[in-house]
Amino acid sequence: MMSTVLFYFLAGFILFSAYFVVTAHNLFRCALGLIAVLLGIAGLYLLMDAQFLSAVQVTVYVGGIVVLIVYVILLVADVTQTSYPAGARWRAGVAGAICALMFCSMSWAILSAPELGKVQPDRLRSATLPEIGHSLLSLTAGGFGLAFETISVLLVAVLIGAVTVARVRAGTGEKGAKGQ
């Protein structure tokens, strides 16, 4: 029962923070809400015995991605600016209706699927760290060695691409930067 209580606590915490992320006018507060959401999801991973993924979530997501987002918010945006243009109330209504409809249909589909409820409690387990490590580096069938190497190539390409895109070019870029 302890894990059920923890689940509901974490779920409420995450949803409260997620609501904050999508509605707060101050972008910096949105980023803080995003940190809370990600930490809560790391807690949910722990509830499902996925310790490695939980650690990766905290270090890479909270420690890397969100810090990058916070840095860019401080760099480019007036953090007190409102994110909604005036008169966008109808858009929020339509978006809310679409999302509520989607949530109702998805949860109806989840709760009415019989095979999702057929879980044998003795088969509940999560992948262990040695299994994950072997699978990440094995090139045989069922291994993810090729995807692992490809993602490192992707990250290098992203590094080069981000620097190339954000570089201040002689001429046009400098003029725009001075205009701020």
Partner 1 sequence: MSGLTLQHFLVFAALLFCVGLYGLLTRRNLIGMLMAVELILNAAALNFVAFHHYLHAGEVAGVIFPLFIIAVAAAEVAIALAVVIVIFRHQGRLNVEEVGHMRH
Q: Is 159 in the site for partner 1 (CB under 8 A)?
A: yes
Whole-number minimum distance, CB 93 to partner 1, in Å?
10
Among 13, 36, 49, 55, binds partner 1 (CB under 8 A): 49
Q: Minimum distance from CB of 108 to partner 1 (Å)? A: 10
The answer to whether the Cα torsion of 76, 79, 38, 129 is positive or negative is: positive
Among residue numbers 112 through 141, which ones bind partner 1 (CB under 8 A)? 116-117, 119, 121, 123-128, 131-132, 135-136
Query: What residues contact 173, with CB distance under 8 A and at least 6 apart?
Result: 167
Q: Is 158 in the site for partner 1 (CB under 8 A)?
A: yes
Close Cβ partners of 35 (under 8 Å, ≥ 6 residues apart): 62, 66
* Residue 111 touches partner 1, criterion: CB under 8 A: yes
Contact 45, 54 (CB under 8 A): yes
Residue position matching structure tokens 């809370």: 36
The SS3 call for residue 14 is: helix
Q: Which of residues 68-107 bind partner 1 (CB under 8 A)?
A: 68-69, 72-73, 75-77, 81, 83-85, 88, 91-92, 94-96, 98-100, 102-103, 106-107
